[in-house]
Structure 1
Amino acid sequence: MTKGFTIHATVFLSLSIFDPASVEASKLLNLTNYFIIAALFILLIVVALLVYVVIKFKAKPGAEEPVQSAGNKKVEAVMIGIPFLMVVGFFIMTVDTMREVHPEIASQTPDVIVTGHQWWWEARYPGTGAVTANEVHLPVNKKILLQFASSDVIHDWWVPELGQKMDMFPGKTTHLWLNIKEPGVYEGVCSEFCGAQHAWMRVRVVAQEWDEYQQWLLQKDQPAQEPATALAQKGKAIFNRSTCGNCHAIRGTVAQGQSGPDLTHFASRPVMLAGMMPTTEENLRAWLSDPQAVKPGAHMPRFIFEQDSINALVAYISGLK
C-alpha cells in the first residue's frame, strides 16, 4: 500500500521469446536457435584452439623460440571460407523468414488499429464501435492484420511470446501479421524509450476462441451502461459538466474526447493505467484525487474536486462495464 493506492505486483517473468504462442514467433525462434547453435559452434572452436595453443606452445625452461611460420593459404581459406558460407546461409534463412513472418500488405482493412500514446495503448476494431485501452483482444488460429501508429513520439510494440517488435511513428503507419496458436493472456511492453512513464506502458493481449472473441466484440460495441445508483448518476452529471469529456470518450454520452483512453467499458478491464495497478475503486479514487502522485508525468491533470464529487465519479466510472 502506497499513498492510498495499490501498485499492481505482476512480475513479467513470462516475457520470453523462447515460449512462442504464434506461428510467427515460432518461425522467429527457429531462426534464433540456428544463430545460437552457430555461435556455440564458433565459441567451442575458439576455446578449443586457445587451449591447444596454450598447452602446445607453453614456454619451457631453456627452450629456444619456436620456428615462425606465415602465409598458410589453406588455413586462411578455411578461416575465411567457413564464416563466409555461414553468413550467406544465415542471410538466405533470414530473408526467407522475413517473407513468411512479414509478407507484403495488400490493400485490405486491418483487423485491429493500435495507436501508441504517452503512456498507454489504444485499440480500435474497424467495422465496429469497439475501442479499448491497454488490453487488446484477438482471435486464435486466424491470420490477422494489425496496423500501428503513434499520436506523439516513437513507440515500439513488443509482445515477446507473439513475435517481432514493431515501431510506431507519428504520421506513419506500420503493419504486423499475427496468427496466435493458443488462447491465453500475453503480456507486452513498449520497447522504445518514450518518456517519463515508459516503464509503465504495458499491454495485455487476450487471445480467445473465435466465438468468444465475437461475443467480446459485440459487447464492446455497445454504448456505456446507464448509472445504476443515485450516486453514480451524480457522478455522470459531474463528468459531463466538467472538462473530462474533452479528453475521454464514453459512447452514448456527450463525452467524445480522443486524447485520453476511451472509458466506455473501463471497469471491464482488470488493470488500469497501462498495467500499473488493478482496476479497483480504491485505486480509481487515488488516481482522480491526485494523478501525479500515482503516475508522475502522466498527462492527466489534477482537478480540485470535493471528496463527495470524487466518490460520485468513482461510482459512475466503476459501473462502466
Structure 2
Amino acid sequence: MSLLLPLRALAEEKGIVRAWPAPVVAVAFAGRHFGFGLGDGTVRLIDIEAPDSVVTAPAHGGVVLALCPDVAGGFLSGGDDGRLCRIDPGGAVSEIATVPGRWIAAVDAAPATGRRLCAAGRDVLVFDAEGGEVTRLQGPAVIDGAAFDPRGRRVAAAHYGGVTVWSPRKRGWPSRLYAWQGAHLGVTWHPRSRFIVSALQEKALHAWRLSDGVHMQMPGYPAKPRSMAWADGGRALVTSGSEGVVSWRFTGRDGPMGGTASEAGWARGTPITRVAAHPLLPVVAAGAKDGFVALMPLDGNGYVPVLRPYGAAIEALAFSADGRWLAAGDAGGRAALVDLQP
C-alpha cells in the first residue's frame, strides 16, 4: 500500500460499506435510490433516506451488463440473458423485451421523450414509455455502446469502424456514419450536442463536431479509456485509461482540436478504471485498479480519499443528483455509499 495515502478515508467516517457475493459491475442513481448491478444478475437497491437497508431485485439469469435510471423512476437493466428489464423503486422487476441468443450490451433512457433503448448484437431497439417498440435500428457491425442525445431524439451507436447516428423523421430513421478505423467501445454526447466522442479499443478517443463533421483523434492513453464523464457543465471530458484522471477541454468552437489533454491524480502508479463527474461542482470522483477511490478538483489541486484500496478494481461510480452521495463498487463485490456533506 502506498505511503502517500493518509490514515483514514471518508468511507470510514461517513460511509456504509457492504460485501456482496458477486462483482459490482454498474451503479446508477434514480429518485432517491442507488441501484447496484451485480455479476449474479441481481440489482441491489439502497434508499439514501434509509441507507442501512437493501432491497434485492432478481433481474437477470446471468450477469447484469448495463444499468441506467429509467424514464419514470427506478432503473433500466440489460443482461447477458438477453432481457431488458425495468426495476421499480420497490424492487419489482418487469420485462420490457427479450432478445433470444444475444446479450444486452448497453441501455439508455431519455426523460425528455420517455423513450428507452438497448443494444443487442447489431441492433438498437427503441421503446416508448409504455414498453412498446418504436423502431429497430441496425448498425454495420456489432454494437458495443449506444446513447440518446440530450434531447432524447437521436441515437448514437459505437461499433467497429466508427459511430452511427440515427435521426427520427416522419418517414423513418435515416443514419449517418461517422467513420474512423478501429473498434469503438463506447460513445457519449456532449451535453449541448456539439460533439460526439467514442472510446476505442486502440487506447484512444475520437471526437466529431456535429455541425460540420470535422473529427479529431485524441490519442496517448496507456490503457483503454473505458470510462468517460462530462464535467464542469460540458467544458471538460474526463476519462479513465491512465494513472491520473485525463481531462480534455471542450471550450470554444473547436473543443480539444489542436490541443492536448491534462492529467491529474496521485503518484501511486495505479491505473484509474472509473470516473464520475460531480453534477454541480468542478469535481471528479476517480476509482483505481486496486480499489482506491478519491475526489479531486478539475484543476488537479490535491485529492480527498474516499475509499481505501482493497485489492479489486473499481468498476462502478455514481453521484446522487444533488452531489451529496457517492456510490462505488468493485470487482470483488465491495460496495460503498458515502455521504459527502460536510
Same fold, judged at TM 0.5 (above): no
Structure showing the higher strand proportion among its residues: 2
Q: TM-score normalised to the size of structure 1?
A: 0.24
Q: TM-score normalised to the size of structure 2?
A: 0.23
Bigger relative contact order (CA 8 A; separation at least 6): 1
Structure showing the higher helix proportion among its residues: 1
